[in-house]
Structure 1
Amino acid sequence: MRKTRMAASAAACLLALSSLTACANDAAGSASDSGNGSGGKGEHVKIMVGGLDKVIYLPAMLTQRLGFFGAEGLDVQLLSEPAGVQAETALVSGQVQGAVGFYDHTLDLQVKGKSVESVVQFSHAPGEVEVVSQKTAGTITSPKDFKGKKLGVTGLGSSTDFLTKYLAVKNGVNVSDFTPVAVGAGPTFISALQKGSIDGGMTTDPTVATILQKKAGRILLDMRTPEGSQQALGGPYPSSSLYMQTDWVNSHKDTVQKLVNAFVKTLTWMSTHSASEIAAKMPADYSQGDRTLYAEAIKSTLPMFTKDGVMPAGGPETVEKVLKAFNPSIKNAKVDLAKTYTTEFAEKSAG
């Protein structure tokens, strides 16, 4: 399903952004140190990830570590930002050619006049978990209790922000009745939960696994499986994906096909290997000193991933329903879902 959209400029240099440069060097170093990187040879592509160490975006670094980018003749530079909304910003500003983040950003961007599409779909469930602090576990027993609460999200305008607002509205709580707090993920999220800066929040593994190990909070809603997505959101919810500006896709089809080939190889590899085997391929620092806990985090999240990178049937409609429930700009706009994704490249890879 191929569609066209408005154009964006070619990628600009990120060297002036020191934090991104550091992340890029870390990513490239991790890949080359393992001998599985692309080795700096081939066509150069920059991809911004909304959190390289998040398990929901694991295919990005795993593809690098397995050497699949290099095998396709690509030199892929992986960059990292704490939240998907920041990865989106890097993409639309032309700083990178691709973004690994939630598919829902493509709908949000379309109504803002930006033409962006998912070219390979990593997942059919959000992989997100709503947790509540130990202190508030007795008073927050469902999203109906969000009123008056401070709820953590990775960033304002992020997919965790979107999903939190939907869960509130679905359960009779207005978005103005609670306070979203941008706390990132990992140590910053956990610290906010422990200090009472937030009463609960939405996050992913490995943060979830650490929260449970530290007994810093409890799970309220688990959307790491298709079943959990169905229960909370009413259908499959395609989340983590590689999305790119449509104009760039149309003018670089060979490169996009190679990228998708690499990612589909990874998704297939993941479906035939254990969580421990996957964990062993990732950078050592991703486990934060506890490889067993990290493997458990991967095991809990594995059900969210597709095996072929193809958009799940009915998924875009679920995402549109969720966004229309609370987002005024989308609620009152006509979204052309067919222009928010393509299955052209993934079907060729899987075929």
Structure 2
Amino acid sequence: MNKIKNQARPVFPFTAIIGQEEMKLALVLNVIDPKIGGVMIMGDRGTGKSTTIRAIADLLPEIEVVSDDIFNSHPYDYDTMSDFVKQQIENKIDLTTQFVKVPMVDLPLGATEDRLCGTIDIEKALNEGIKSFEPGLLAKANRGILYVDEVNLLDDHLVDILLDSAASGWNTVEREGISIRHPARFVLVGSGNPEEGELRPQLLDRFGMHAEIRTVKDPSLRVQIVEQRTKFDQDPYLCIDEFYDKQNELKQSILLAQKKLTHVVIDYDLKVKISQICSILNVDGLRGDIVTNRAAKAFAAYQNKDEVDIDDVKTIITLCLRHRLRKDPLDTIDSGTKVSKVVNEVLV
């Protein structure tokens, strides 16, 4: 209990969140395999989008980082290690490490490119010959979660930079012929309200999954949610303590799934069926096929299975494909319903 009270600000427990299963599943799967490519959460105001995203970050196990490194470098994994740490390893310098909470970085709407990517001190570079870099939010988000609320209102140029970094795992800053690059591997989570405008289709396609959330209509469930929130506001530590075991259970499931992920297989015939669904739905490119395969493996690992089955694919495929369908302004059918219809015809 004392350990819980040491937190600077109590966070609503992830396992205490009622409903919104689509959003919760998409976030868990992206945490198990960040290469899925992030989540776009679209839904009404006041449906717990921000609460859920902060809750998943708080739930995650601590990560080991190299001490005094501004990029949260991993001490053993080259993909998430800065060039400076690589040099230290090559020079056989012993690294000191520490365990920290998974970084959770908020990107404010008015952020500039410098704030996002970081800046190079040109004066210092020219006068002293030192590459001096002031890290941006991408550096802070390495090995963590980068959350963009109202992503549909963010400048397209910044969204491009975000998606490029999320896809490549690196951020490069160039100025006056000086170039600095650093690891930027993070789970990108965007949220927005469709009433305030949609993202451009080519940007939307770059998000691995797309969760749609609606306001709960059932009165008894609404009361349950209100009571749960009121209980937390009155005594957050009592609420956190009440869900401690459930939180721990989920944390262990995620850790186990991360370890198991590389051993999970998908049968060739099932891969063909996934691609057949993408083809029938006229999904542009192959990103839909790749993400569906990845998400199905992550979901199977989450259930402690060695092989993906049809039910696993059925559970995650709508999340992976609904935002990749071509929009027809005259179409009255929801894109999620379209996906489900084809899935039920192909996966029998």
Please state which band the TM-score falls in when normalised by the shorter chain. Answer: under 0.3
Give the number of the structure whose residues are more often helix, by fraction.
Answer: 2
TM-score by length of 1: 0.26
